[in-house]
Chain A
Amino acid sequence: MSSTADTVEREKNLQGIGCSRKRKEDPRFIQGKGNYVDDIKMPGMLFADMVRSPHAHARIKSINKEKALALPGVHAVITAEDLKPLNLHWMPTLAGDVQAVLADEKVVFQQQEVALVVADDRYIAADATELVEVEYEELPPIVDPHKAMDPDAPIIREDLVGKMEGAHSKRLHDNHIFTWEVGQKDETDRVFETAEVTVKQEMTYQRVHPSPLETCGCVASFDKIKGTLTVYITSQAPHVVRTVVSQLSGIPESKVRIISPDIGGGFGNKVGVYPGYVATIVASIVLGRPVKWVEDRIEHLSTTAFARDYHMTGELAADKDGRIKALRVNVLADHGAFDACADPSKFPAGLFHICTGSYDIPTAYARVDGVYTNKAPGGVAYRCSFRVTEAVYLIERMVDVLAQKLNIDKAEIRFRNFIKPEQFPYTSAFGWEYDSGNYHAALKKVLEAVDYEGLRKEQAEKRARGELMGIGIVTFTEIVGAGPSKTCDILGIGMFDSCEIRVHPTGSALARMGTITQGQGHQTTYAQIIASELGIPSEDIQIEEGDTDTAPYGLGTYGSRTTPVGGAATAKAARKIRAKARKIAAHLLEVSEDDLEWDVDRFRVKGSPDQAKTMKEIAWAAYNNVPEGMEPGLEAVEYYDPPNFTYPFGAYVCVVDIDKYTGVTKIRRFYALDDCGTRINPMIIDGQIHGGLTEGFAVAMGQELIYDEGGNILGNSFMDYFLPTAVETPHWETDYTVTPSPHHPLGAKGVAESPHVGSIPTFTAAVVDAFAHLGVTHMNMPHNAFNVWKKIHELGLDKRS
């Protein structure tokens, strides 16, 4: 009989699920041995640089390339005119719209791509961009989305004039993209008419940029002899890129190879296909040489996908005890000049209708209208599942507004409205089926940990002295892991994901997935899943992603879908292997399969544990001694289409002190409790939560892409765009509860985006709470010193006697 000590030891050796195994990726990165797109060098490689529009809205009268072409070392200057014969001057977006690859007759946002210059090196290419002469006739721009549908608003998209049937609905104006409605409008209106209490709040979720450290770029290499195209690219979804590139170029998908090498962060920014990629690929095809294009920081912040820019009005109807009866939401969504949101095709506002949050709200209605403006396209999920950050922000703000109106404590009002543990699985008014949760326990734990009562007492004393202290509480629910392919697809491809595992004769394994790590540590955690499922030590499991020639087709990594979808595929692929291994073990031990039981890393005969075959022995046998009729080998592939999303949740508290003479907000305390179900690697979870909280802090306290009235983008460098360093970043306290997902094979939910989604409204809540006693119900982000001071000054709090 194997002793428990022996079992524990063998389990420890595996470094499987639940182990804080150190990240396999790190030794490479911290020694500077990463291999990013800009590290790729190919023989004969040329360099591309982009000529960009100085105007937000202008007609292109002429483009003169002659001087640029005359510069020694310049190979080509490509414009829309050159792409037209190939029908590549426009490309489809993920949102059912089209986007100009290179500006076709008009530019519609500042820094838009106008011409691609290809030269021997970066320096010549940069010089040549200055020699391309473009003559513009300026047009009035639309910057304010509220003015986009004015009757006399200039038309941004002349290519769409007369096409009033949009991808998602009828278009109401030439600058209108879609109307999207969900829920029961009439019923909701009726509840509002008869409600004891109603509250209404307008709020703007500013335009921000995910801003990964690595900007976007690619190296395209077309082999004229073989007819193959290889592209190294900064992509969170290489397989989707392969499909799109094949469709656009007409090159068979089997001859297109897309490789996402090391990716220096994505945060949703690297999901879509950008004009620079397409133009660079065309350049390589035309010139028959490898071409590299890598944007600089200003180009990156100015043109690649932004996030948010939601102008929201929330309303709650409730009884006088604060029990919510209905939610009504209207959103004006600024999508920029092309609708290039990266959402599942059927959801033009993503999963925004998770906006009933953690609360049992019987009736709800939401409407989102998308409009065009003269700004860069985007609208991606910045470290969140599609538009979930916006949804959580809205409901969490509204619950606070209601609490203030009724003078009910902000924690208490949440307890009154939570979906109760026994209500799961719970179907929301918008039709989502929440898989599992225990919101009461989470909030209770957090309030105790921070001594909530003590904080409120301290706040009362400080208020009496005229000091500004705020306490923010957020209890959020996310919806991640897109998704069931019955509802979710990208360009018609269901949002499943995949894993292929090969166990080698000597018992080590290679596994490949359709996802792609960008810092999340997939090479570490995927191996842990397989280790626990197959009894092979993590160290002996090699994980590969990102090369479409080798990895099985998958939809990529964003929206916290890797663990919910890719992780499930991995567990199920491993289980297929284990099922085969069981048959082989039965054969080797000459017993029936039913007589065997799994024991960490081996099958043993029930009742006589000394009779056992380890996975290592079974692997060897798989290649030379399988039962009759069985194929040799020990491999499996799983394409996993999840039955539902997973619904991670958390309870956060933030305490701030505000300097009333400068507006500087100090985050005194931030306590984050997350529940992501089964925890695969607690250390990585903590790291991801720290990162997500830090990015949430950045968004709430400083990030904003600002445009002036002329449509000029301001603040598009790190001098202004806020990326916190260790100096600014507050201290994070983390905690957890475990409520497994009932439908996920491992019980796991996504986690790395929760802290971003959950923390942003917590910061706002804390800042607003500092002014709540003065009747302030909401303040728009970013809560930088300047903005906070304006509120202080408006209220006269900085007056000296």
Chain B
Amino acid sequence: MIPGAFEYHAPTTLAEAVSLLKEYGDEGKVLAGGHSLLPMMKLRFAEPSHLIDLNGIDELRGIREENGVIHIGAMTTENELIASQLLWDKCPLIPEAAKLIADPQVRNKGTIGGDIAHGDPGNDHPAIMMATDASFVLHGPDGERVVPANGFFLGTYFTLLEPEEILKEIQVPVFPRNTGYAYSKLKRKTGDFATAAAAVVLQLDGDICTKINITLTNVGPTALKAEEAEQLLTGKVITEDLINQAAEKAMAICDPAEDLRGDVEYKTHMAGEMTRRAIRQSLDRARGN
């Protein structure tokens, strides 16, 4: 449990960090909260020879609203998300899900940016980002680009981020009125990743569901978007029967890896069950119950 030798860099600006990344290429890795990277280094699954610490870069911090969009600095910690009144008022799914991540120690250091950039299908933010229609600002040597969360996650530990890019900011549209939302996460214990989890964000017009996002955590190589389930429910009055059908459709796209949390069958069923629960709770909330 002792990492290999590495050199430590503490840039104070984004530009400095990017130039260090450029300089060290494959040998360099940026360090955020360290709660995914350091365990991998201790197990020597990752052995970067240069660690570029982002903790001293102020540009990467802070949560603010601008023109109906919330901007979250990549280095915002889980605890800062949970403490943000702005988020609770305008996009409560994010802090609510953050409360279900890991344990207090991890949430104290772990960042939303690191959680996203790591590309781990077990992480919760990817599905939350897809469910909230978030986009990511990626900062590289040649400037910035903005990419939607949907499509960002390509495979396990594999995203659209280029080796020399840094995730700078997360942009999330504020929830319209009549939005219902929920994150149902089944985990074995405090500090565990999801056995399966489902995020739902929906809008109601009267009883009709005008829009719904359903995304799943840890039941495939990346977070998954249950599009057929979404289509099934869009434009309809959501009944218990439709919820069950949607859950079946969500289960159909699951491709979980067997581990000690359960086998493929169990995880798939749990993805279905979490989908049911998240839809039901979202409906309750949208109806103001």
A interface residues with partner B (beta carbon < 8 Å): 122-123, 126-127, 130, 296-298, 661-664, 702, 706, 714-715, 718-720, 722, 724-725, 727-728, 784-786, 789-790, 793, 798, 800
Q: How far is the CB of A116 from chain B (nearest CB, A)?
A: 16
Within the complex, which residue of B193, B244, B269 is in contact with A793, where a contact is CB–CB below 8 Å?
B269
Within the complex, which residue of A122, A298, A702, A789 is in contact with B188, where a contact is CB–CB below 8 Å?
A702
Cα A746 to Cα B114 with chains together (Å): 60
Chain B residues with Cβ below 8 Å from A298 are 1
Q: List 7 A-B contacts (CB under 8 A).
A: A662-B186, A702-B188, A715-B260, A720-B260, A728-B189, A785-B195, A793-B269
A728 and B190 in contact, given A122-B2, A715-B260, A793-B269 (Cβ under 8 angstroms) = yes
Chain B residues with Cβ below 8 Å from A800 are 244
Chain B residues with Cβ below 8 Å from A126 are 2
Q: How far is the CB of B241 from chain A (nearest CB, A)?
A: 10
Q: How far is the CB of B281 from chain A (nearest CB, A)?
A: 15
A722 and B186 in contact, given A127-B5, A790-B266 (Cβ under 8 angstroms) = no
Q: Which residue of A lies closest to B1 (CB)?
A: A296
Cα A391 to Cα B261 with chains together (Å): 29
Are A714 and B260 in contact (CB-based, < 8 A)?
A: yes
Within the complex, which residue of A127, A662, A702, A718 is in contact with B4, where a contact is CB–CB below 8 Å?
A127
Cα A12 to Cα B251 with chains together (Å): 66
Chain A residues with Cβ below 8 Å from B44 are 130
Are A786 and B262 in contact (CB-based, < 8 A)?
A: yes
Which residues of B (248-289) have their CB < 8 Å from a CB of A?
A: 260-263, 265-266, 269-270, 273
Cα A785 to Cα B103 with chains together (Å): 20
Chain B residues with Cβ below 8 Å from A664 are 186
Are B1 and A722 in contact (CB-based, < 8 A)?
A: no
Within the complex, which residue of A127, A702, A715 is in contact with B189, where a contact is CB–CB below 8 Å?
A702
Chain B residues with Cβ below 8 Å from A720 are 260
Give 8 nearest A-B pairs by CB, closest first.
Answer: A126-B2, A296-B1, A786-B262, A727-B190, A720-B260, A661-B273, A725-B190, A715-B260
Cα A127 to Cα B191 with chains together (Å): 29
Please indicate which of the listed interface residues A130, A706, A719 has the most CB atoms of chain B within 10 Å of its own CB. Answer: A719
Are B190 and A786 in contact (CB-based, < 8 A)?
A: no
Cα A784 to Cα B259 with chains together (Å): 14
Which residues of B (178-221) have their CB < 8 Å from a CB of A?
A: 186, 188-193, 195
B interface residues with partner A (beta carbon < 8 Å): 1-2, 4-5, 44, 103, 186, 188-193, 195, 244, 260-263, 265-266, 269-270, 273
Are A722 and B2 in contact (CB-based, < 8 A)?
A: no
Are B188 and A297 in contact (CB-based, < 8 A)?
A: no
Chain B residues with Cβ below 8 Å from A296 are 1
Chain A residues with Cβ below 8 Å from B4 are 127
Are A123 and B260 in contact (CB-based, < 8 A)?
A: no
Chain B residues with Cβ below 8 Å from A122 are 2
Cα A259 to Cα B4 with chains together (Å): 33
Are A123 and B189 in contact (CB-based, < 8 A)?
A: no
Are A706 and B190 in contact (CB-based, < 8 A)?
A: no
A662 and B1 in contact, given A714-B260, A725-B190 (Cβ under 8 angstroms) = no
Cα A327 to Cα B13 with chains together (Å): 75
Are B270 and A123 in contact (CB-based, < 8 A)?
A: no
A719 and B266 in contact, given A662-B273, A786-B261 (Cβ under 8 angstroms) = no
Cα A221 to Cα B191 with chains together (Å): 39
Chain A residues with Cβ below 8 Å from B263 are 786
Q: How far is the CB of A216 from chain B (nearest CB, A)?
A: 14
Are B273 and A725 in contact (CB-based, < 8 A)?
A: no
Cα A789 to Cα B103 with chains together (Å): 26
Q: Which residue of A lies closest to B276 (CB)?
A: A661
Q: How far is the CB of B218 from chain A (nearest CB, A)?
A: 13
Q: Which residue of A lies closest to B277 (CB)?
A: A661
Q: How far is the CB of A342 from chain B (nearest CB, A)?
A: 27
Are A722 and B188 in contact (CB-based, < 8 A)?
A: yes
Q: Which residue of A lies closest to B261 (CB)?
A: A786
A785 and B186 in contact, given A127-B5, A661-B273, A714-B260 (Cβ under 8 angstroms) = yes
Please indicate which of the listed interface residues B188, B190, B195, B269 has the most CB atoms of chain A within 10 Å of its own CB. Answer: B188
Are A662 and B270 in contact (CB-based, < 8 A)?
A: yes
Cα A127 to Cα B262 with chains together (Å): 35
Are A719 and B192 in contact (CB-based, < 8 A)?
A: yes
Chain A residues with Cβ below 8 Å from B2 are 122-123, 126
Chain A residues with Cβ below 8 Å from B269 are 789, 793, 798
Q: How far is the CB of B116 from chain A (nearest CB, A)?
A: 21
Q: Which residue of B lies closest to A786 (CB)?
A: B262
Q: Which residue of A lies closest to B189 (CB)?
A: A728
Cα A663 to Cα B188 with chains together (Å): 11
